[in-house]
Chains A and B, each alone.
Chain A
Amino acid sequence: MRRWPAIKRYMLRHPGVARLGVVIVLFVIWEIAARWFIDPLFMSPPSSVLVSLPQMFEISGVPGALRITFWELAVAFAMSVAIGLAVGLAVGLQPFSRRSFMPIVLLLYGTPQVTILPLFILFFGIGPASKIAFGVSHGIFPIIVTIVAGVQNLKPILLTSAKSMGANRWQAFRYVIFPHMIPSFFTGMRLGMTGVLLGVLLAELYVSTAGIGYFTTLFTQNFEPDNLLGLIATLAAMAIILNELVRRAENHFARWRD
């Protein structure tokens, strides 16, 4: 018992360790609850999910569906960035177009796009095209909005200063507007990634006859919580990795902003 104060002091100095402790406690509660208190038809303990993960990957079609989802995310993200950047610059670089089109962008951004999810499937089919399109529709708006904001909040003195040193229009863009925009561009990409993940996964879950949605529906109807949780955890891991990649890139390219 004399060791307690030392452990306590260590925990107090390292909140990260305590955070890990909280996560472990949550998993233990989950394990105990699922093992002894909840009907195994509806819930599995994490240990059994982990053990049955290899079997889940052997179910015919699951690895393919995961691979396709990953490609949908990548393509939707790339398209969102390209379109978002182009539209963001077109709208943001000139005050008139900004005043004219920004309210329209915000109006579209504010409408709940899930209402038109069935339309995307009707138009683009149940394959990857509809999921990519729906992901893009969620990904471009945060990118446009942050790029416009980024272009807008440039301190005028920096442009004046560049002009006074003889910068031409191209140089003003290349050495002032563009580097100024980089951090908001990466912030936009991070928010865009969140949007793309939401859009693609919504569409994947909606289509119950193919892809991820087929398997989540199948596992739910057959009461296979092991497989369902394994599939969800794999997708969550995919999302975390993609988010983390974009976040690291943001920190790297915005290191002067402190």
Chain B
Amino acid sequence: MLGNGKRDAASAGSRAVQVAFLVGLLLLWYVATNYWGVSHLLLPEPVQVFWQFVDIIKTGEYIDDLKVTLGELATAFAVSCTTGVTLGYLISRSQYLIRVFEPLFAGIYAIPIILFLPLYVLMFGLGPMSKVALGTTISFFPIVLSTIAGFGYVERTYIVSARSMGASEYQLFRYVLLPAALPVILTGMRMGFTVALLSIIGSETIASLAGLGHRIVHLAEGMDMARMFAYIAFVVAIAAILNTVVSSLEAGGRRR
């Protein structure tokens, strides 16, 4: 049994290990590129990367690409949320439909959806449309599955007790089904958002005309390593911000 003091000491120790690990990694990077002669064509120098990052932010060069990527993401996510929740709710109204469709969706979801990309490129071209299609497809499944799970498996006791108190169909939905299902659906939406973001950046990397993923590939092909690393850091930061926002929205929605 750890006392209070001992536990604090232990977690401070863990914190120290984490900081040491990250600082060590940065230091290793610095030393390797400055003193051990690792080619800057393979691994750019960290200070240089930092100034490139500052330059990207200062010049606002990122704005056009960011707009393209975020536009694709917003469209894909909006479409998959609308269709996923609607379809999921309709299916969840019948235990029979659940048994027909839930395994079907789960089965399709097990296929790597990234395989659809070449097909979408053929059908919709290299522009944003193919990315939206892929992002929609990939985020549809977690959303529809969680909606089915959320509405379809509400504790019987809640429903029976609401009915026994004379709840109408609307009241049953508003005060029992919705609050019971919401946390599950929000989790599905967060998962859908994450995979949509990943697949859109991924498809921009593979075949595209614009967007953040396209920018990184463009710099890689030009062997402009320092700027490419700065863009990678930029995209990772954007992704982290977006995921944090969505996670806190999810947490806020769960609490209500």
A binds B: yes
Q: Could you tell me the distance between the alpha carbons of A19 and B107 in the complex, rounded to whole angstroms?
A: 11
**Contact at B115–A19, with CB atoms within 8 Å?**
no
**Contact at B115–A100, with CB atoms within 8 Å?**
no
B209: CB under 8 A from chain A?
no
Contact with A along B4-33 (1 / 0, CB 8 A): 000000110110011001100000000000
Secondary structure call for the A interface:
helix
Q: How many residues of A contact B (CB 8 A)?
A: 50
A187: CB under 8 A from chain B?
no
Q: Could you tell me the distance between the alpha carbons of A198 and B228 in the complex, rounded to whole angstroms?
A: 23
Q: Could you tell me the distance between the alpha carbons of A124 and B104 in the complex, rounded to whole angstroms?
A: 38
Q: Which residue of B lies closest to A23 (CB)?
A: B104
Contact with A along B88-102 (1 / 0, CB 8 A): 000000001001110
A172-229 CB contacts (< 8 Å) to partner B: 194, 197-198, 201-202, 205-206, 208, 213, 216-217, 219-220, 223, 225, 228-229
Q: Which residues of B contact A202 (CB under 8 A)?
A: 114, 202, 205-206
Q: Which one, A42, A112, A225, contacts B197 given CB within 8 A? A: A112
Q: A100-B13, A112-B197, A236-B111 are in contact. Are A119 and B220 (CB under 8 A)?
A: yes
Q: Which residue of A lies closest to B229 (CB)?
A: A119
**Contact at A112–B104, with CB atoms within 8 Å?**
no
Q: Could you tell me the distance between the alpha carbons of A236 and B198 in the complex, rounded to whole angstroms?
A: 20
**Contact at A194–B110, with CB atoms within 8 Å?**
yes
Q: Could you tell me the distance between the alpha carbons of A134 and B240 in the complex, rounded to whole angstroms?
A: 21
Q: Which one, A15, A117, A235, contacts B96 given CB within 8 A? A: A15
**Contact at B42–A122, with CB atoms within 8 Å?**
yes
Q: Which residues of A contact B110 (CB under 8 A)?
A: 194, 239-240, 243
A12: CB under 8 A from chain B?
yes
Contact with A along B116-129 (1 / 0, CB 8 A): 11110111000000
Q: Which residues of B contact A43 (CB under 8 A)?
A: 123
Q: Which one, A110, A114, A206, A225, contacts B201 given CB within 8 A? A: A114
On B, residues with C-beta under 8 Å from A are: 10-11, 13-14, 17-18, 21-22, 42, 96, 99-101, 103-104, 110-112, 114-119, 121-123, 197-198, 201-202, 205-207, 213, 216-217, 220, 228, 232, 235-236, 239-240, 243
Can you list 24 A-B pairs, Cβ within 8 angstroms, ordered by A?
A15-B99, A22-B100, A100-B21, A101-B21, A110-B243, A111-B240, A112-B197, A112-B201, A112-B236, A114-B213, A117-B205, A118-B217, A119-B232, A198-B112, A198-B114, A201-B112, A205-B114, A228-B119, A229-B119, A232-B116, A232-B119, A235-B115, A236-B115, A240-B111
